[in-house]
Amino acid sequence: MHPRAQDSVSRRRRSLELRSTFLVTRRVLGGRNTAIILTLALVGAASGGRAAQNWPILRHDIQVAVEPAKSRLQATDAIDLGPPPNPTGPLALLLHKGLTVESIQLGKERLQFETAATFQPRHFWAKPDYERMQDYAAARELTVHPPATGWPATVRLELRYAGAIYDSLKPPKVAYERSFEETSGLIDARGVYLEGSTFWIPWSGEGLFRYRLTARVPAGWESMSQGTWAERRAAADGSVESLWVVETPMNEAYLVAGPYKVRKKEHGKVMAYTFTYAETPEDLCNTYLDATGTYLQMYEQMLGPYPFDKFALVENWWQTGYGMPSFTLLGDRVIRLPFIVHTSYGHEILHNWWGNGVFVAEGKGNWSEGLTSYLADYTYKEREGEAAARDYRLSQLQGYLDYASSGGRDFALRRFTERESPATQAVGYGKTMMVFHMARKLWGDAVFFTALRHFYKEKLFQEASWDDLVRSFAVTVEADSAPGGAAGAAPPLVTPWFEQWIGRPGAPVLSVSRGPASAGGPRLEIRQAEPFYDLRVPIRYELGREMRSREVELRSASATIQLEPGARWVAVDPDMELFRKLHRAEIPPALSHVLGADSTFVVIGSRCTPKMAAALRALASTWSHNHDQVLVDERDFRRTVGRGVWLFGEGDLVDRCFASSGAFGDAPLKLRAAASTARRSLVACFRDAEREEIAWTVVLPATPAVVEALGKKLPHYGRYSYLAFEGETNVDKGNWQVQSSPLRLDLTH
Of the pLDDT bands very low, low, confident and very high (cuts 50, 70, 90), residue 483 is low
Residue 136 near residue 12, CB atoms below 8 Å: no
Specify the pTM: 0.85
Per-residue pLDDT, 271: 98
CATH-assigned architecture of domain 46-207: Sandwich (2.60)
**How far does Cα 418 stand from its chain's mean position?**
7
pLDDT in tens, 60-96: 999 999 999 999 999 999 999 989 989 999 999 999 9
pLDDT over 70 at 15, yes or no:
no
**Domain pair 46-207 / 510-582, same fold:** yes
Residues in a beta bridge with 271: 266, 310
In sequence order, which residues have a C-beta less than 8 Å from that of residue 691 and are 6 or more positions away?
Answer: 641
The DSSP string of 160-216 is: EEEEE-B---B--SS--TT---B-SEEEETTEEEE-GGGT-S-B-SSS-EEEEEEEE
**Strands 240-250, 255-258: parallel, antiparallel or unpaired by DSSP?**
unpaired
Q: Which of residues 5 and 665 earns the better pLDDT score?
A: 665
Q: Which of 436, 306, 426, 423 is nearest to 371 (CA)?
A: 436
Per-residue pLDDT, 14: 39
Of the pLDDT bands very low, low, confident and very high (cuts 50, 70, 90), residue 172 is low
pLDDT over 60 at 532, yes or no:
yes
Domain at 510-582, CATH from 1.10.287, 2.30.30, 3.40.50, 2.60.40 = 2.60.40
**From CA 464, how far away is CA 458, in angstroms rounded?**
10
Of the pLDDT bands very low, low, confident and very high (cuts 50, 70, 90), residue 448 is very high
The DSSP string of 670-686 is: HHHHHHHHHT-EEEEEE
Give the range among 49-53, 130-134, 388-392 with minimum mean pLDDT: 49-53
**From CA 99, how far away is CA 194, in angstroms rounded?**
13
Domain ranges for the chain: 46-207, 510-582, 591-734
pLDDT in tens, 542-586: 998 899 999 999 999 999 999 999 999 999 999 999 999 999 989
Q: What is the CATH number of domain 591-734?
A: 3.30.379
Average pLDDT value for the chain: 88
